[in-house]
Amino acid sequence: MKRVPVSKCSTYTSVQECCSAQDPYCGWCGSKSSCTFEDDCTDSDWLSIPDESQHKIISHKVEKDTDGQILLKLHTHLTVGQKVSSNFTCLHVTVKFRLGSTKLSEQLRLTNCSDISGPPSSVLCQQCIKAGCRWNTNRCSWADQTEINDSVCQNVQSGKNFYIPEISSITPSVVSFYGRNHAVLSGRNLDDVTAVRIQADTDCTPKESPVWDNTGFSLMFHIPTSDIKGVVNVCLLLPDGRCHGKAKITYSSLPSCTNITPNSSWFSGKRKITLMGSHLNFVEGVVHSHAMQDVRLSRNISSQYLTYDSPAARSFSSSTLFVKLANETLACSTKLSYYPDPKFTSFTATRTGEDVRITIQKKADNLEMMIEELSVWGVQDNTGYQCIAEAKETWTNTDFFTCGFKSPSNHEFEELLIKYSDRTVSLGLESQLHKALQILHFMLIPCVIAVLMIIYFWQKRLAVEMNKL
């Protein structure tokens, strides 16, 4: 048996087109934002048409009683998947009507009365009544045919009197869709703040983030994720349900990482890596596929550049980069290769008056180490003299780094210190002596051969003379 699709759900590009097509096999998948089969929509809400034929997603009915009261009833004609919550959330309605020659218009937000909850307070009561719900026994519930009167809120005790909090700044105030951990809010009278409320104009229910490290003048909180770009409103929640203060947080695009330089690191790690892309100022850390638990914090960051120290690796590998955003990670299209640590072999020194020029030899490798990554010091009489970098050249599988400094003494220095990342390599006089011995060794070989040949011919000639005698 082979399963084949009998419908082309992908041809419908919006939820209205998908449901209005009256195709019983196609439905709108919320997580994919596309029209799909129900089996192809996993871990999300799936909306489709009902079994009965309906040409409208929403229908309405208007009733008028003897007193002139008009009742509007709305009915949705949709079949929902198993994972869709059946509870009514909210609905934005624009009501337009005319009385005589006067036209009136009102924006309404119909809210699930059961969602309005919290410690009983006059503020919560007024919020309940404003939503068209009923306040009964210190909680919000659905209204009945009885008259809704906000005078009931006058009898609700607000409890303790709290100072009104004020917001001065939020850092950062611009974040990506994934939000931001450990944001800092500064202001006044923050002592009694229990949470930071964040709400977009299109949100039915605001998001509330708990606070900690509250000093009265600053506090910390997590900025939650968002489904859309744009500006959201921020206020500070008090224990009595009131929310005060005004501030804005802007949600922007996710960062992208397109290139790195250098594209390799030595095994010991801590090489300075520069990551390039866009919106990198939203990044909270960098991780690698071979060490996902090791979060590397940025040393310097902007919208287009980010620098960090590479993690260590045990062997040669190609590691994929990820950027960390709040509680999410985003894969980059770049990789970092690992090679053994650089091996410095020897050095030579040339003196001209007080000027000393040092040439350091390093075995050639794939690291492409730049001279700016080295810090060189010459030690003379227990005093260090920094060697200023000049140039780098490569000959016959050997890298040559040249630097220079001034030495007030004519004595030779005893030690050379070469530092890269957090590692220091020491080259002492034994390196020079070892090189001199090698040169002397190669110079003595021809001399020894010549002496042996002289002895050989002298002995041969002596044998001939002895034979004559």
Work out the pLDDT band at 174, boundaries 50, 70, 90: very high
Residues whose CB falls within 8 Å of the CB of residue 364, separated by 6 or more in sequence, listed in order: 394, 397, 398, 399
User: CA–CA separation, 160 vs 170, rounded Å?
Assistant: 27
| 419-440 confidence digits (pLDDT tens) | 999 999 998 754 444 444 445 5
Q: Is the peptide bond before 172 cis (omega within 30 degrees of 0)?
A: yes
| Mean pLDDT, the chain, whole residue set | 83
Residue at 180: amino acid letter: R
412 within domain boundaries: yes
| 186-195 confidence digits (pLDDT tens) | 999 999 999 9
- Which residue's structure tokens are 């002496």? 451
User: With 60 as the cut, is the pLDDT of residue 83 above it?
Assistant: no
* Averaged pLDDT for residues 81-92: 61
CA 63 to centroid of chain Cα atoms: 54
Q: Which residue has the higher pLDDT, 29 or 419?
A: 419
- Which residue's structure tokens are 């503020």? 123
Q: Which of 125-129, 258-262, 442-446 has the lowest mean pLDDT?
A: 442-446
Q: Are residues 330 and 375 in the same domain?
A: no
Q: What angle do CA 101, 105, 109 make, to 5 degrees?
A: 160
Q: For residue 158, what are its two tokens?
A: 């607000």
Q: Are residues 247 and 260 in the same domain?
A: no
pTM of structure: 0.67
159 within domain boundaries: no
User: With 90 as the cut, is the pLDDT of residue 170 above it?
Assistant: yes
* Averaged pLDDT for residues 147-176: 82
> Which residue, 394, 400, 354, is CA-closest to 378?
354
Q: How many residues does the chain have?
A: 469
> Which residue, 236, 217, 238, is CA-closest to 161?
238
Work out the pLDDT band at 86, boundaries 50, 70, 90: low
217 within domain boundaries: yes
Q: Are residues 301 and 353 in the same domain?
A: no
Q: For residue 417, what are its two tokens?
A: 């210190």
Cα-Cα-Cα-Cα dihedral sign, residues 122, 128, 134, 139: negative
Q: What is the CATH number of the domain that holds 271?
A: 2.60.40.10
Work out the pLDDT band at 158, boundaries 50, 70, 90: low
Give me the domain span that covers residue 225: 166-252
* Averaged pLDDT for residues 403-430: 82
> Which residue, 434, 344, 419, 423, is CA-closest to 379?
419
Cα-Cα-Cα-Cα dihedral sign, residues 439, 444, 446, 449: negative
Paired with 70 in beta bridges are 64
Q: Are residues 176 and 223 in the same domain?
A: yes
Q: Which residue has the higher pLDDT, 440 or 264?
A: 264
User: With 90 as the cut, is the pLDDT of residue 82 above it?
Assistant: no
Q: Are residues 331 and 382 in the same domain?
A: no
DSSP tag of 367:
S
With contact defined as beta carbons under 8 Å apart, do 231 and 248 qualify? yes
User: With 60 as the cut, is the pLDDT of residue 335 above it?
Assistant: yes
Q: Are residues 335 and 352 in the same domain?
A: no
Number of domain units in the chain: 4
User: CA–CA separation, 75 vs 58, rounded Å?
Assistant: 6
Q: Are residues 233 and 264 in the same domain?
A: no
User: CA–CA separation, 226 vs 207, rounded Å?
Assistant: 10
Q: For residue 452, what are its two tokens?
A: 């042996």
Q: Percentage of the chain with pLDDT > 70? A: 87
pLDDT for the residue numbered 330: 92
pLDDT for the residue numbered 72: 75
pLDDT for the residue numbered 3: 66
150 within domain boundaries: no
Q: Are residues 275 and 321 in the same domain?
A: yes
* Averaged pLDDT for residues 145-165: 73
